[in-house]
């Protein structure tokens, strides 16, 4: 089954391409390389032993997308392509609405024109904001997004649900990812942030590699056991496998309109300081870090109830935080030539 993977040169998309091949699917990548590097394709080849069809195109381009879909007889799409920097989205909201919502609408139009039923969409736990009760289930009410980026995910989910409801022949799953970390255990692919990382784990690994002088922990006076924020850190390979499970599930629901959302996390929360501690322990090194002020907009604590994905998709995260921290460091050492 030929699957179009938009954003397939990115962090989560590239790991998903590997899992798709291992599950017997045939992925085709469309990525405009706006936040990724062509070296990812070589990494994929080193893991998979073959080239994956790749098109450097923009998902907002209807004509180009239509061509790729027809050329490869695409039967399903995983739509990763989006901008994801929360702070930048506050400064440049139109850029985010255009790319994240515009590309989704374009993908849906291309699907409809070509009779493609199945879509898996990258949503985010950001739609919950600071939930009143954790762990959050898929029924936890969504809160008004803190940023235009977060709002693109909330709006996208509404667009997808409405589109399915209209009975246009779609089967769609939104996966609400928690915090993806780690890298492929081969160290052939991993996270490649452009410029200063926004996210915790690449900041940790770059600090350990000497690319950054020190990590600042954004606050240790929260209402948590050690005062730092709590997140649900999921190994990117586990997250990638959830997309295979979602595609498999969509194929069981081909007779009627189908829309569903799933939390994709580990079901466990860890504090920022626990992550640092685990990184130091498993990799036998000391990290230069200091406690700084809170980062505006951070939720205090969140982790996911993941039983729905276990029950309905037969998927559960298997890797530990220790493995994530080892794999993240192995990858950083490779790209830093250490
Ligand atoms: P990423 O930036 O590594 O990957 C996204 C890829 O999409 C990049 O390779 C980029 O070049 C490409 N892209 C962006 N706009 C495009 C366009 N218009 N046309 C073609 N290609 C385009 O990000 P990621 O971490 O792999 O995230 C993948 C998806 O998961 C995104 O939708 C993101 O919002 C979502 N998500 C990420 C996280 C996270 O913490 N990484 C958490 C929740 C949800
Ligand atoms: C994790 C924790 C920081 C950097 C973001 C998006 C969210 C989702 C995932 C896409 C927080 C702390 C971080 C640093 C630190 N993305 N931290 N020092 O904020 O949970 O979520 O990515 O959908 O929408 O908002 O992830 O990795 O930025 O931060 O102390 O230098 O690490 O305060 O508690 P976050 P993150």
For the stretch 103-137, pLDDT in tens is 999 999 999 999 999 999 999 999 999 999 999 99
Consecutive H or E run containing 173: strand 171-177
pTM of the model: 0.99
The whole-angstrom distance between residue 150's C-alpha and the CA centroid of its chain comes to: 13
Residues 6+ apart with CB under 8 A from 180: 11, 12, 234, 235, 236, 239
What is the predicted pLDDT for the residue at 81? 99
Interatomic CA distance for residues 64 and 30, integer angstroms: 10
Q: Which residue from 15, 259, 8 is spatially nearest to 156, judged by alpha carbons?
A: 259
* 49 three-state secondary structure: coil
CB 132, CB 301: distance < 8 Å? no
Residues with CB under 6 A from ligand 1: 6-7, 9-13, 30-36, 58-60, 80-82, 84, 99, 103, 122, 124, 177, 179-180
Ligand 1 centroid – CA 83 distance (Å): 6
What is the predicted pLDDT for the residue at 326? 98
For 210, left (φ over 0), alpha (ψ -120 to 50), or beta? Answer: left
Atom of ligand 1 nearest to the CA of 192: 3
Computed over every residue of the chain, the mean pLDDT equals: 98
What is the predicted pLDDT for the residue at 256? 95
Interatomic CA distance for residues 234 and 117, integer angstroms: 29
CB 15, CB 189: distance < 8 Å? yes
Q: How do beta strands 171-177 and 179-181 pair?
A: unpaired
Query: In the predicted model, what is the mean pLDDT of residues 13-24?
Result: 99
Domain residue spans of the chain: 2-182+232-265
What does the pLDDT look like over 227-286, one tens digit per residue?
999 999 999 999 999 999 999 999 999 999 999 999 999 999 999 999 999 999 999 999
Classified by CATH at the fold level, domain 2-182+232-265 comes out as Rossmann fold (3.40.50)
- Kindly provide the b/e burial profile for residues 281-314, where b requires at least 16 CB atoms within 10 angstroms of the residue's own CB: ebbeeeeebeeeeeeeebbebbbbbbebbeeebe
The whole-angstrom distance between residue 242's C-alpha and the CA centroid of its chain comes to: 11
What is the predicted pLDDT for the residue at 73? 98
Consecutive H or E run containing 215: strand 215-218
Q: Which of 25, 149, 177, 259 is catalytic?
A: 149
Query: In the predicted model, what is the mean pLDDT of residues 298-304?
Result: 97
What is the number of the ligand closest to the CA of 228?
Answer: 2
What does the pLDDT look like over 306-322, one tens digit per residue?
999 999 999 999 999 99
* 174 three-state secondary structure: strand
Our answer to whether residue 149 is catalytic in this structure is yes
DSSP class of 38: T
């Amino acid at each position: 089954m030929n699957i179009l993977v938009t954003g397939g040169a990115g962090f989560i998309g590239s790991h998903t391409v590997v899992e798709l091949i291992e599950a017997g699917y045939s992925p085709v990548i469309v990525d405009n390389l706006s936040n990724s590097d062509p070296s990812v394709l070589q990494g994929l080849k080193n893991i998979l032993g073959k080239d994956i069809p790749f098109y450097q195109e923009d998902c907002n381009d209807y004509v180009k997308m239509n061509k790729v879909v027809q050329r490869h007889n695409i039967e399903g799409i995983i739509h990763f392509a989006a901008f994801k920097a929360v702070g930048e989205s506050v400064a440049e909201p139109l850029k985010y609405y255009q790319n994240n919502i515009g590309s989704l609408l374009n993908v849906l139009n291309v699907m409809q024109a070509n009779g493609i039923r199945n879509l898996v969409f990258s949503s985010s736990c950001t739609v919950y904001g600071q939930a009143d009760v954790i762990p959050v289930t898929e029924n936890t009410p969504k809160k008004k997004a803190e940023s235009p980026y977060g709002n693109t995910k909330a709006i996208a989910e509404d667009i997808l649900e409405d589109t399915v409801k209209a009975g246009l022949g779609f089967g769609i799953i939104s996966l609400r990812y928690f915090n993806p970390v780690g890298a492929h255990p081969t160290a052939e692919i991993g996270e490649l942030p452009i410029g200063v990382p926004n996210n915790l784990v690449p900041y940790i690994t770059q600090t350990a590699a000497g690319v950054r002088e020190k990590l600042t922990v954004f606050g240790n006076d929260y209402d948590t056991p050690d005062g730092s924020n709590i997140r649900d850190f999921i190994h990117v390979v586990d997250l990638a496998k959830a997309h295979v499970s979602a595609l498999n599930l969509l194929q069981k629901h081909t007779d009627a309109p189908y829309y569903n959302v799933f939390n994709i996390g580990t079901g466990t929360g860890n504090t920022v300081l626990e992550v640092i501690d685990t990184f130091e322990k498993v990799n036998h090194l000391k990290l230069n870090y200091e406690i700084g002020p809170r980062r505006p907009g951070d939720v205090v604590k969140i982790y996911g109830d993941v039983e729905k994905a276990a029950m309905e998709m037969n998927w559960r995260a298997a890797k530990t935080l220790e493995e994530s921290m080892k794999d993240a460091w192995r990858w950083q050492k490779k790209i830093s030539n250490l």
